[in-house]
Structure 1
C-alpha cells in the first residue's frame, strides 16, 4: 500500500483511470483549492466558481477511463476549468442578449410577433440544453417535466428506484440552471408548470 499524497500527478491519473477512488480523492484535495481560486478570479463569483469546479470533478470521475494516463493532469484540469469558464461566459452573454432584447421589447412596445420570435429563441435555447443532458437524465427529466409523470411512475416505467429518478431530476435542474442562467431557468420553470 502506498501513500497517495506522495504520488505524482501522472501516477494518480493512472490509478484514477483504473477506478481508484482514493486517487480521485487525492486529486480532488490537491487541485480543488487551486482551481477554485483560478475560477473565482475569472468569474468574480465564488458560488459560480464552486459550481464550475464541482462539475469538473464530477466529469473527471465519470470520464476517468478516458483519462490520458501519461498526460499532464494539472494542464488537463486547468484547460478543462478554463473551458467551463468560457461556457459560463457564453451562456451569460446569451442570457444578457435575451434580457436586453426583452427590455428593448418592453421599451418600444413592439407587436406580439416580436415577442413570439424571442420566446421561440428562448424555447430553442432551452431545448438545446435539455438535449445536451446525458441520455438517461434527459429521458427522466422529460418524463417528469413534459409528461408530468411522478417519480414513482417514472421509476416503474424505466425500472429504476424512485431515489434514482429524484436524483436525476434534481441534477438535471441544477445543470440547466447553471447553463441557462437564473432568468431563463425561471422562465422555463414557469412555462412548464
Structure 2
C-alpha cells in the first residue's frame, strides 16, 4: 500500500496531506528532507542547525497541513518555507551577536572601570599609610605642603621653622615615599596632588 505513495505526484501528496494522510506526509518527508537539509546546510554552514531548521519545517508542515494549497507547487512551497526559516536564524543570530557584543563591551568597560577604581583606592590607601609612617614633624610639614598646598614660606611661618628646614623635610619625605612606594605609585601620587 505505502509503495503506491512513491508514485504520487507532489500535488497529489499535497492534497492527501490536507486530508490528514500520515503516509502522504511521510512520503513528502522522505522525498524532500535530504534536499532541504543540503540547502539549509550550505546556507547556514552548520549541520546541526540545518537539521533543526528542517525538522521544525516538517513539524510546522504537519501542524498547518490544512493550509497547504492542494494544487500548488509543493517543492516551491517547501523551499520558500526553508528560506524564510534560514533568514529567521540569521536575523536571530544578528540580534544575539549584537546583544552579546554590547553586553561584552559593557562588561569590559565596567570591569576596567571597577578594576581602575579598586586599584586607585588601594593606591590611595597605600600612600596614606606611608605618609602616616613618616616621623611626626616631617609628616606635618609634608601634609601642609602637599595636601594643603601651602608654600615653604607659609609653613615656616606657621610652624616657626626656617624655610630651609621646611624644604629639607619635604625633600626627605618625598625620598622616603619614593623608596617605599616604588616609582609608579610615587609618580601617580605626584600627578594626583598636582591636579
Using the size of structure 1 for normalisation, the TM-score is 0.56
Matched residue SS, 1:71: coil
Pair 1:19-2:12 in alignment: no
1:35-184 paired onto structure 2 within 5 Å: 35-109=36-110
- Counterpart residue number, 1:122: none
Partner Cα separation in structure 2 for residue 3 and residue 107 of structure 1? 63
Relative contact order, higher structure (CA 8 A, sep 6+) = 1
Distance 2:107 2:52 in 1: 33
CA distances 1:128-150 after superposition (whole Å, capped 9, x unpaired): xxxxxxxxxxxxxxxxxxxxxxx
Q: Counterparts of 2:107 and 2:17 in 1: how far apart (Å)?
A: 53
Partner Cα distance (2:20, 2:100) in 1: 44
Q: Distance in 2 between matches of 1:106 and 1:28?
A: 46
Distance in 1 between residues matched to 2:35 and 2:82, nearest whole Å: 11
State the Cα distance separating 1:106 from its structure 2 match.
1.6
Shift in Å, 1:109:
1.6
Distance (whole Å) between structure 1 residues aligned to residue 71 and residue 89 of structure 2: 29
2 CA distance for matches of 1:62 and 1:103? 39
1:107 offset after TM fit, Å?
Answer: 2.0
The match for 2:33 is 32
Bigger radius of gyration among the two? 2
- Displacement of 1:69: 0.6
Q: Give per-residue Cα distances to partners, 1:89-129, cap 9 Å, x unaligned.
A: 01100100011001110222289xxxxxxxxxxxxxxxxxx
What is the number of equivalent residue pairs in this alignment? 112
